[in-house]
Amino acid sequence: MTWLALACGGFTWTLLEYLLHRFVFHERLLGVTPAREHLEHHAKVDWFAPFGPKLLLAAIVLPALSLVAVPLAGWAPGLVFVGGVVGGWLAYEGLHRAIHVWPPHTAYGRWARRHHLYHHFGDPRRNHGVSSPLWDFVFRTFTPVSTVTVPARSARKLPWLLDGDAVHPTLAGTYVLAPARTAP
Ligand SMILES: [Zn+2]
Ligand SMILES: [Zn+2]
């Protein structure tokens, strides 16, 4: 039961990841303030939202989830479920940072970078999921990506992408440099 509650929490995080990213950060459902850091991250891909605003968001979301989960499932399963959400959230934070700062080492890592960097440089209305494409399929915002065109000035902020001034030879089939354009 504990593992099931934990897994349900991790799975629920993947939905929250999508909903927060799309509706709160991009469509500004809760106003401009929660979206500001994310839009700054889009403008500067080597800049990440500080922990303070993230903790504030967690301090709103996690108690709200607890208020639903505990009455539905009981104290222990409800809190383990919320722990699963926290685990998913932390894993997402690590994955998102890795996408931007480290080269891919696995097929999943290569997919995650294509999927997320298309969201950055191709169309910010598509591919809102970072850890999985599931909710992009469900909400019809999934775009399959084979090639990502990256503005040259942004490519310099992805330390794993370049070898000198050109795309690293191991990534040349997937990433193409383009002249700089205005940020989305
Ligand atoms: Zn990003
Ligand atoms: Zn975004």
3-state secondary structure the chain: CHHHHHHHHHHHHHHHHHHHHHHHHHCCCCCHHHHHHHHHHHHCCCCCCCHHHHHHHHHHHHHHHHHHHHHHHCHHHHHHHHHHHHHHHHHHHHHHHHHHHCCCCCHHHHHHHHHHHHHHHCCCCCCCCCCCCHHHHHCCCCCCCCCEEEEHHHHCCCCCCEECCEECHHHCCCEEEECCCCCC
pLDDT of residue 39: 93
The pTM of this model reads 0.93
Ligand 2 centroid to residue 1 C-alpha, Å = 35
**CB hemisphere CA count around 169 (13 angstroms):** 0
pLDDT at 47: 95
Cβ neighbours around 6 below 10 Å, total: 19
What separation in Å is there between the alpha carbon of 92 and the centre of ligand 1?
11
pLDDT of residue 119: 98
Please give the distance, rounded to the nearest whole angstrom, from the Cα atom of residue 138 to the centre of ligand 1.
21
pLDDT recorded at residue 1: 75
Residues 6+ apart with CB under 8 A from 12: 65, 81, 84, 85, 88
Residues β-bridged to residue 150: 177
Phi–psi pair at 149, nearest 5 degrees: -95, 120
Amino acid at 133: P
Give the pLDDT of the chain (184 residues) as one tens digit per residue.
799 999 999 999 999 999 999 999 999 998 898 899 999 999 999 999 999 989 999 999 999 999 999 999 999 999 999 999 999 999 999 999 999 999 999 999 999 999 999 999 999 999 999 999 999 999 999 999 999 999 999 999 999 999 999 999 999 999 999 975 555 5
Q: Which ligand is nearest to the CA of 115?
A: 1
Amino acid letter for position 94: G
pLDDT at 180: 59
Nearest ligand to residue 124 Cα: 2
According to the model, what pLDDT value does residue 184 have?
54
